[in-house]
Amino acid sequence: MAEVLGLKCMKCGREYSPRNALLVCETCGSNGILDVLYDYSKIQLSLKELKNDSQNSLWRYRKLLPLNDKTRISPLQVGMTPLYSLKDMAKTNGLKGIYIKDDGRNPTASLKDRASAVGISKAIEAGSKAVCCASTGNAASSLAGFAASLGIPAFIFVPKRAPKAKIAQLLIFGAKTIIVDDTYDRAFELSIETSIRYGFYNRNCAYNPYLVEGKKTVAFEIWENLGYQLPDKVILSIGDGCITSGIYKGFYDLMKIGLTDHLPQIIAVQAAGCNPMEVAFKTGEFKEQKPNTIADSIAVGIPRNRLKALRALEESKGDCISVSDDEIKQAILELPRVSGVFAEPAAATAYAGFKKLLNSDLAGKNENVVILITGNGLKDIDSALSVCQLPEPIEPTMKAVEKLLG
Amino acid sequence: MAEVLGLKCMKCGREYSPRNALLVCETCGSNGILDVLYDYSKIQLSLKELKNDSQNSLWRYRKLLPLNDKTRISPLQVGMTPLYSLKDMAKTNGLKGIYIKDDGRNPTASLKDRASAVGISKAIEAGSKAVCCASTGNAASSLAGFAASLGIPAFIFVPKRAPKAKIAQLLIFGAKTIIVDDTYDRAFELSIETSIRYGFYNRNCAYNPYLVEGKKTVAFEIWENLGYQLPDKVILSIGDGCITSGIYKGFYDLMKIGLTDHLPQIIAVQAAGCNPMEVAFKTGEFKEQKPNTIADSIAVGIPRNRLKALRALEESKGDCISVSDDEIKQAILELPRVSGVFAEPAAATAYAGFKKLLNSDLAGKNENVVILITGNGLKDIDSALSVCQLPEPIEPTMKAVEKLLG
């Protein structure tokens, strides 16, 4: 395990001992998301050790995770997802490399599994008998799956308007699913109150600081996938900012333990119909928004982990951009056709952002660019169908086939 | 590559040279599915070599596959899917081990990707400019994904009644999707005629003998996952018999090259509402059936690869059993709750079969049993929802939460 020095509030800077069971700042409450601080001098992880490690999962980085060495972990195989090179596209556009990191290949088909893997073990360390979160999407189904894999009860709050398909995953994993006749924000608040009232472990990523630590493993893998080299840019979509915070933390850790010497640029992509992070990054001022976009997983009007995410963008000399829903729809269609990777709308948003950069100032730069795909398209078949044209049926004859194919 | 000695008709026994571009027997037509014969004396694959091979995909078994060493392959990462041990359940029931092999973790979320990986490369070897198949399900979406990953056009025939969600995957990967205003059987026939008429490479698994060769890699992996040991039993669902044929072929290969010395028992599970294989295995007589089951991927009234599948069951001293739709529905719910693995109905059928055996004569036998999960539940959310009970929404108050949770 990585020795945790303390937990530091992203808002007021107050530090807490790791022995303290607090998940958020005492002063700032749930606005004061904590950052996990390590004693990097005590983390010994060599390139040779990694190369010889045959573990095909994120547990190969256990030395960089805030978990005791003996804490029970879920048997579900998480991480070590594939990185695909789009060689022809890179060549055509004068880039050194274009890579798709497909995190839709995780157990419940999203990057959230990295967070759940760590979160469920932190719940065990905390002695909690059950876990709890609020979500309508990937985090909820991920927690439900990991809880099932260890036989731990899960209580999940979803707003009434949550799509039935996403609720199906919760029910199938046997999670106690509490449908709240109100907004997501109210479901979120109730999940916090319930976890305190019943002693459930809270897995909300924009609340519990240890979840981002699970997400950071995707940065380690990108570096490994590229032959222990950093890319120049990582492009990913951003909602409440947890994945952006996680990928930064991973690259930061690698630098602090001496395996790398700088941070790659992190480019976060929002939907134009909901871009509070872009506004905050560019103007320095945060304003709540009402989401209006097809990319539901990043339709977040109040990005709760914005302070960590803004730090990630600033310190990596990155950027925050936005793309229109038309550009996202185009990406939903184009990405699977150039790569064989089917992404959910929020994940395809990263590819849309990449295409926008390519059309402005990225082409010809001879850089290595990684596009992070955070969720599988099978999670949202309806959105996929909405951008496809269903062909008309033909008569069951070769004549009709020949007429169609020419 | 494995040196192919010849192709032998499963029906009449006639042998063909591998240099012959035939896919089916000249005499028996599409009833005469061919079997790929190897010169095992020329295949050198040692345990040490496998242990030192860092390739995290089915290509670690390339020496056992009928592909030239230099043939281009898809970049999609296929195979090396996880095998999970259900330790508590094994202990309770007096079994040595119960294992879930989760092949829903493949690129397009089903075992069919193993066949497509080999099939698409055989298409390249054959010099075909396009690939073609008929299917309403996993094989079609798999072929579409692999074709997209290599920029090869795919033509896919589906019957009009195919679920829109499955058609969505084809469209998203950019496959030319031909919706036939007739049954699946007619779509299948048109796909064969079209592939001959236009020179497209035909990927129908119950037609093209090389597809089963891709599927056999799951047997190699089960043996590797178990620490280079064979299980006592492998339990899997059966539709047209291709996966059963494939898993047998893999275990057969291992024995022929001297890495193992026997075959594990193969237990194939059908839905009681469509059990022509069970009837054929038990009575020796084949009769076409009209399918009536929730498990659509195995709702096959005319199992086209039945000769190979029957050989697999007989030579492995296996069995063919059936389970009711109620048992399948119970399995759809129970499997994810004990393992964290969400399976589509046809895949859950294997688990239902396992439970049936456990309740009859399997318990206390001190055996290692592997249950093969062939497709991800995300492919069929509607069936999952149909077995779950959607809870009533609650008022957004802690009082309502407390009333619910007690």
pTM of the model: 0.96
List pLDDT tens digits, range B294-324.
888 898 898 989 999 999 999 999 999 999 9
| Inter-chain touch A336–B174, beta carbons under 8 Å | yes
Nearest CB to B396 within list A176, A181, A381? A181
| Best CA proximity match to A375, nearest among A163, A168, A111 | A111
pLDDT above 80 (res B38): yes
Identity at B15, one-letter amino acid code: E
The stretch B105-111 carries a mean pLDDT of: 97
Percent above pLDDT 90 for chain B = 84
- DSSP H or E run through A253: helix A242-256
> What count of other Cβ atoms lies within 10 Å of the Cβ of residue B278?
20
Three-state SS sequence of chain B:
CCCEEEEEECCCCCEECCCCCCCEECCCEEEEEEEEEECHHHCCCCHHHHHHCCCCCHHHHHHHCCCCCCCCCCCCCCCCCCEEECHHHHHHCCCCEEEEEEHHHCCCCECHHHHHHHHHHHHHHCCCCCEEEECCCHHHHHHHHHHHHHCCCEEEEEECCCCHHHHHHHHHCCCEEEEECCCHHHHHHHHHHHHHHHCCEECCCCCCCHHHHHHCHHHHHHHHHCCCCCCCEEEEECCCCHHHHHHHHHHHHHHHCCCCCCCCEEEEEEECCECHHHHHHHHCCCCCCCCCCCCHHHCCCCCCCHHHHHHHHHHCCCEEEEECHHHHHHHHHHHHHHHCCCECHHHHHHHHHHHHHHHHHHCCCCCEEEEEECEEHHHHHHHHHHHCCCCCCECCCHHHHHHHHC
**B-chain residues within 8 Å CB-CB of A198?**
405
Chain A interface includes B185 (CB < 8 A): no
Residues 96-125 of B with CB under 8 A from A: 105, 107-109
> What count of other Cβ atoms lies within 10 Å of the Cβ of residue A190?
23
List pLDDT tens digits, range B317-355.
999 999 999 999 999 999 999 999 999 999 999 999 999
- DSSP H or E run through A50: helix A47-52
The pLDDT, as a whole number, for residue A174 is: 96
**What would the two tokens of residue A348 be?**
């395809």
Residues 187-226 of A with CB under 8 A from B: 187, 190, 193-194, 197-198
Chain B interface includes A339 (CB < 8 A): yes
Q: Parallel, antiparallel, or unpaired: how do β-strands A368-373 and A97-102 relate?
A: parallel
Q: Parallel, antiparallel, or unpaired: how do β-strands B319-323 and B83-85 relate?
A: unpaired
Q: Which of the four pLDDT bands, split at 50, 70 and 90, describes residue B164?
A: confident
Chain A interface includes B53 (CB < 8 A): no
The tokens 């599915």 sit on which residue? B33
Measure the CA–CA gap between B88 and B376, rounded to whole angstroms.
24
Chain B interface includes A381 (CB < 8 A): yes
Triad B140, B145, B146: Cα angle to 5°: 100
- DSSP H or E run through A34: strand A29-38
| CA atoms within a 13 Å half-sphere pointing along the CA-CB vector of B260 | 21
**B-chain residues within 8 Å CB-CB of A188?**
none
**Nearest chain A Cα distance for residue B312, angstroms:** 30
CB B147 within 8 A of CB A336: no
| Inter-chain touch A171–B145, beta carbons under 8 Å | no
Nearest CB to B395 within list A168, A173, A181? A181
| Inter-chain touch B168–A381, beta carbons under 8 Å | yes
Class of residue B125 by CB neighbours under 10 A (exposed 0-12, middle 13-18, buried 19+): middle
Using DSSP's 3-state secondary structure scheme, residue A398 falls into: helix
Q: Parallel, antiparallel, or unpaired: how do β-strands A265-271 and A319-323 relate?
A: parallel
Chain A interface includes B388 (CB < 8 A): yes
Using DSSP's 3-state secondary structure scheme, residue A31 falls into: strand
Q: Residue B1 forms beta bridges with which residues?
A: none
**A-chain residues within 8 Å CB-CB of B393?**
160, 179-181
| Inter-chain touch A178–B74, beta carbons under 8 Å | no
Measure the CA–CA gap between B351 and B381, rounded to whole angstroms.
18
Strand order in the sheet with B319-323: B83-85, B97-102, B368-373, B233-237, B265-271, B319-323
Strand order in the sheet with A265-271: A83-85, A97-102, A368-373, A233-237, A265-271, A319-323
Domain B111-209 architecture: 3-Layer(aba) Sandwich (3.40)
pLDDT above 90 (res B81): yes
Give the nearest chain A residue to B172 (CA atoms): A333
**What would the two tokens of residue B210 be?**
């090389």
The pLDDT, as a whole number, for residue A52 is: 92
**Nearest chain B Cα distance for residue A90, angstroms:** 15
The pLDDT, as a whole number, for residue B33 is: 92
The pLDDT, as a whole number, for residue B340 is: 97
The pLDDT, as a whole number, for residue B193 is: 94
Tell me where in chain A the CATH 3.40.50.1100 domain(s) lie. Answer: 83-109+211-387, 111-209
Measure the CA–CA gap between A388 and A179, rounded to whole angstroms.
32
A164-172 and B325-339 helices, crossing angle to 10°: 80
**B-chain residues within 8 Å CB-CB of A200?**
none
**B-chain residues within 8 Å CB-CB of A177?**
391
The stretch B218-229 carries a mean pLDDT of: 98
**What would the two tokens of residue A242 be?**
């947890």
Measure the CA–CA gap between A100 and A374, rounded to whole angstroms.
10
Q: Low-confidence residues of chain A, pLDDT below 50?
A: none
The DSSP call for residue A298 is: G
The pLDDT, as a whole number, for residue B37 is: 96
Whole-Å CA distances, B221 to B2, B171, B309: 18, 32, 20
Q: Residue B154 forms beta bridges with which residues?
A: B131
Q: Residue B322 forms beta bridges with which residues?
A: B270
Whole-Å CA distances, B63 to A348, B35, B151, B221: 37, 18, 26, 14
Chain A interface includes B84 (CB < 8 A): yes
pLDDT above 90 (res B201): yes
Class of domain A83-109+211-387: alpha beta
The DSSP call for residue A54 is: -
| Inter-chain touch A398–B190, beta carbons under 8 Å | yes
| DSSP per-residue codes, A61-87 | GGGGSSS-TTS---SS------EEE-H
Which site among A172, A196, A221, A385 would you substitute to test the B interface, given the most B Cβ atoms closer than 10 Å to its Cβ?
A172
CB B312 within 8 A of CB B245: yes
Nearest CB to B381 within list A168, A392, A402? A168
Give the nearest chain B residue to A107 (CA atoms): B105
Nearest CB to A193 within list B167, B395, B398? B398
Give the nearest chain B residue to A166 (CA atoms): B381
Q: Which positions ≥6 away from B183 have C-beta within 8 Å?
A: B159
The pLDDT, as a whole number, for residue B58 is: 98
The pLDDT, as a whole number, for residue A207 is: 85
Measure the CA–CA gap between A59 and B125, rounded to whole angstroms.
40
- DSSP H or E run through A266: strand A265-271
Segments in A133-241 forming alpha helices (H): 138-150, 164-172, 184-198, 209-215, 217-225
The pLDDT, as a whole number, for residue B288 is: 93
Q: Residue A235 forms beta bridges with which residues?
A: A267, A371
Q: Which positions ≥6 away from A339 have C-beta within 8 Å?
A: A84, A86, A100, B148, B149
The pLDDT, as a whole number, for residue B31 is: 83
Measure the CA–CA gap between B327 and A187, rounded to whole angstroms.
35
List pLDDT tens digits, range A10-54.
999 999 998 877 788 999 988 889 999 999 999 999 999 999 999
ipTM: 0.95
Residues 304-333 of B with CB under 8 A from A: 332-333
Measure the CA–CA gap between A361 and A181, rounded to whole angstroms.
46
Measure the CA–CA gap between B246 and B267, rounded to whole angstroms.
13
Give the nearest chain B residue to A190 (CA atoms): B398
Chain B interface includes A159 (CB < 8 A): no
The tokens 């237990």 sit on which residue? B267
Chain A interface includes B149 (CB < 8 A): yes
Chain A interface includes B375 (CB < 8 A): no
Phi then psi dihedrals of residue A401, to 5 deg: -65, -45
Identity at B39, one-letter amino acid code: D
Radius of gyration of chain A (CA): 21
Class of residue A170 by CB neighbours under 10 A (exposed 0-12, middle 13-18, buried 19+): buried
Measure the CA–CA gap between A14 and A25, rounded to whole angstroms.
8
**What would the two tokens of residue B188 be?**
């299948």
**Nearest chain A Cα distance for residue B84, angstroms:** 7
Measure the CA–CA gap between A136 and A21, rounded to whole angstroms.
27
Using DSSP's 3-state secondary structure scheme, residue A174 falls into: coil
| Best CA proximity match to B328, nearest among B311, B358, B303, B353 | B353
Chain A interface includes B405 (CB < 8 A): yes
Nearest CB to A396 within list B174, B181, B404? B181
Using DSSP's 3-state secondary structure scheme, residue A25 falls into: strand
Nearest CB to A180 within list B85, B340, B396? B396
| Best CA proximity match to B221, nearest among B1, B50, B75, B89 | B50
Give the nearest chain B residue to A80 (CA atoms): B56
| Inter-chain touch B173–A337, beta carbons under 8 Å | yes
